[in-house]
Structure formats: structure tokens, C-alpha cells
Amino acid sequence: MKILVTGANGYLGQGIVKALLDRRVDVVAADFSTQHVDDRAQKVACNLFEIENPYEYFGRPDVLLHLAWRDGFKHYSDAHIEDLPQHYHFIKAMTDAGIQQIAVMGSMHEIGFFEGSIKEDTPSNPVTPYGIAKLALRQITGVLCKQKNVKFQWLRGYYIVGNSKYGSSIFSKITAAVENGEKEFPFTMGQNQYDFVDYDKFCDDVAAAVSQDKVLGIIEIASGKPEKLADRVERFIKENNYDITLKYGAFPDRPYDSKAVWGDSRKIDAIIKRQL
């Protein structure tokens, strides 16, 4: 099996490429630069959106795992809407050329404000440009795959803990604060509950999902369990032996964040169980 991974040099791409390679999958890793990509992969430094026939250019891969996305941690960035047509044309070129399977990284932010367990059929009402663009890409990719009889997976991500040096999450910001010698970190009250997945587990789950074609559609890459943000952050600080304390109440909660939300992990659990 040959899998083309776009955005391979990014926060998620680095770990997912490694997880695929550990499964002895042939990986073509594409990004603007590839200095953080595992050397076992075939590295291709390029601008995806400037390639006329990407299917042929990347050696006719069996699967496209599309991780590429600009400003993923900046939910109100104009890039989400500006780049959407280019993602569409790239994926359309792949379906038109004969790719067999397409998997795209989604986000729980495409759901919008919701409380409870997010499932495959949970209605979406995103409230940020990031969520709106992800939802639009999910819908149009589904249409393109259906038209060409391409197997389609939408991998909906949740809150990832780890590989902090390359991320922009609260865990990355705490790591940066510690490296800067700060002893206190401004924080919310941390009472909201989210679905946290450790980085290595998340990457392995994605690799497991895309290296099979029996379980398709929307797949929640989630633990299936909610946990208070404050509890997970305090645990993260303890796990890494950081000498820093949280300044509770320094920031208000974001108005579009749910009080308690988590993913339904049954599909990814079934994939993992089948591969054991």
C-alpha cells in the first residue's frame, strides 16, 4: 500500500507518517518543507496546489491522507476560507485521476456548540471560519468521492496532548512558558470537559484507520471519555515535571466552547480491535 500524506511536516503529520511507516506502509510525505519528516518516507517538498496532475506526480498512491491545512490553531484566520477552493481542486484532481481511497483530517470544531457525545450523525453548526471551512470540505469531499466511487474517510480530531514543541495548543504554550523560565501560567477556570487523546495514540489511531478500507465515513479519533481541562492540564504539568503553576481565572472561557463534549470512539475502537 502506498499512502500520500499531505501536510507531512506539520504537528500531526510528523507523528502520523512515523506511525504509518512503523506499520510498513509505503509513505510519500508532501509539504512545503520536509525537515521534520521521518527519513524512511519518500519526501517531496512542494506546493500541492500548484501541481497540475498530483495523482501522477506522487506516483499513483492508493490512498490520500490529506492533513494539509493552514492556521489550524487560529480559528478566525482568513486562510480557512481563502484556501478552501484550493483544497477542493486538489482533492477533485485526485478523485478524477483514479485514487482509490481518500481520508481527510477533520475537527470537532466543525460541529459547533454542542454538549454530549459527538457521533457520526451529530448535526453540524460551526461558529468559526475554521469550523465552517472544515465542514464545507467534509461535505464536498463526500460528494466527489461518491461521484467517482472512491472510498471516503473523515477523521474527526479532538484535543491532542503531546509533541508540544511543534503545536500551538495550551499544552504547547505551557511548554514554551516553562522553557522561558516562567513560573505562572494564566488560565481559565478550566471547568469545561473535553476529549483528550495522547499524541502517539492519536497518530497510531489515524494510521490504523487509513491503512484499512472496511470502516469508512466519519470516524471520531477520540478517547470516548470527557475530562475537565483543569485536571488534564494539571496532569500534563505533573507528567513533564514542569515547575509552573496555573493562574486560574485569568481568562474567560471562549464563548463557542462547549461545557462538556467528547467523541464516540466505537468505530476507531473497532478498527484497532480488528487489527490486534
242 is catalytic: no
Cβ pair 105, 155 in contact under 8 A: yes
Hey, what CATH topology would domain 2-159+196-224+264-275 get? Rossmann fold (3.40.50)
**For the chain, the helix, strand and coil percentages under 3-state DSSP, each to the nearest 5:** 40, 25, 40
What is residue 113's three-state secondary structure? coil
Of the residues 11, 55, 76, 130, only one is catalytic, namely 130
**What distance in Å separates the CA atoms of residue 230 and residue 7, rounded to the nearest whole number?**
31
Cβ pair 64, 92 in contact under 8 A: no
Percentage of residues in the chain having pLDDT higher than 90: 92
168: confidence class by pLDDT, cuts 50, 70, 90: confident
What pTM was estimated for this model as a whole?
Answer: 0.95
The string over 69-97, giving b where at least 16 C-beta atoms fall within 10 Å of a residue's C-beta and e elsewhere, is bebbeebebeebeebbeebeebbbbbbee
For the segment 20-41, the average pLDDT, to the nearest whole number, is 98
Segment 245-273, tens digit of pLDDT:
999 999 988 777 788 999 999 999 999 99
- Output the pLDDT for position 164: 76
Residue with cell 481559565: 188
Segment 89-131, tens digit of pLDDT:
999 999 999 999 999 999 999 999 999 999 999 999 999 999 9
Query: What residue segments make up the domains of the chain, in order of their start?
Result: 2-159+196-224+264-275, 161-193+226-247
